[in-house]
Amino acid sequence: MTKIGILGANGRMGRVLIDACYQHTDVALGFASVRKGSSFIGVDAGEVAGIAKQYIKVCESELQPTDIADVIIDFTLPQALEANLAWCIANDRAIVIGTTGLSPMQLALIDDAAKSIPIVFAANYSVGVNLLLSLVRQTSAVMGQYADIEIVEAHHRFKKDAPSGTAVAIGEVIADELGRDLNKCAVYGREGHTGERDQNTIGFCTIRAGDIVGEHTAIFATIGERIELTHKASSRLTFANGALTAAIWVKGKVPGLYSMQQVLDLQ
């Protein structure tokens, strides 16, 4: 049995993670924490998630117990990452990170922390999305050099970063397979008289509307045909279950930075 510590328990993913722990047969909720001053401190974790009482009271992040969780799951905000990593290092705990919109400096913090603790870091923990990444790489190898490549993603109105971490991950897989630098070939939206499309670019289109959980499409288009690879998520539970799979997998691993592709044995 793997015991899970959930950070940001009152967030959209935090609540779903508590529910997923309750439903999963191989994990148990160790603790659930929220930021200092939150009104959820002291509330039963189950009540926060809208499920049966768990008899585990939500605690303040600065007062997290150090001995009742094997793996920490962090889907909080970028500004909380440094403190969360420091806590895991100090307490020798593995961590699964699902926070998106991280800066180069924050990504460097993850790389550095991985020298001390095992970390799974992925833009998306859905099994389907990670399979999509593998299919995108295969398609890039066959069609990428002569196809026009576009990535379309859609999420709910509350998402704060754009394009999504998953869309960027798709772009990175394509660019890596084609030997391109995504920072130099990415085009984020178009407006006005743009001229003909540069075939070496990778285009991104971002949609933010309503309560869309997450949709991603990679388009490989040539004159006469195109391939569209699409993944649509209808519930955040798929991401939560994937994160729990990663937590079970990373427990007991040596320090290092691991991907969801490794967790699922897709690479």
Active-site residues: which are they?
155, 159
Among candidates 213, 221, 216, 241, which has minimal Cα distance to 231? 216
For residues 231 and 167, the answer to whether their CB atoms sit within 8 Å is no
Taking the CA atoms of residue 218, residue 221, residue 225 and residue 230 in that order, the dihedral angle to the nearest 10 degrees is 10
Question: From edge to edge, which strands make up the β-sheet containing 27-34?
Answer: 59-60, 27-34, 2-7, 71-74, 94-97, 118-121, 256-258
Q: Could you give the CA distance from residue 260 to residue 123 in angstroms, rounded to a whole number?
A: 9
Count of beta carbons in the 10 Å neighbourhood of residue 126: 22
Q: Could you give the CA distance from residue 166 to residue 152 in angstroms, rounded to a whole number?
A: 11
For residues 125 and 246, the answer to whether their CB atoms sit within 8 Å is yes
Q: Could you give the CA distance from residue 169 to residue 174 in angstroms, rounded to a whole number?
A: 9
Among candidates 12, 8, 9, 16, which has minimal Cα distance to 238? 16
For residues 111 and 160, the answer to whether their CB atoms sit within 8 Å is no
Q: Could you give the CA distance from residue 202 to residue 140 in angstroms, rounded to a whole number?
A: 12
Collect all residues with Cβ–Cβ distance below 8 Å to 85 and sequence separation of at least 6.
Answer: 95, 109, 110, 113
For residues 133 and 259, the answer to whether their CB atoms sit within 8 Å is no
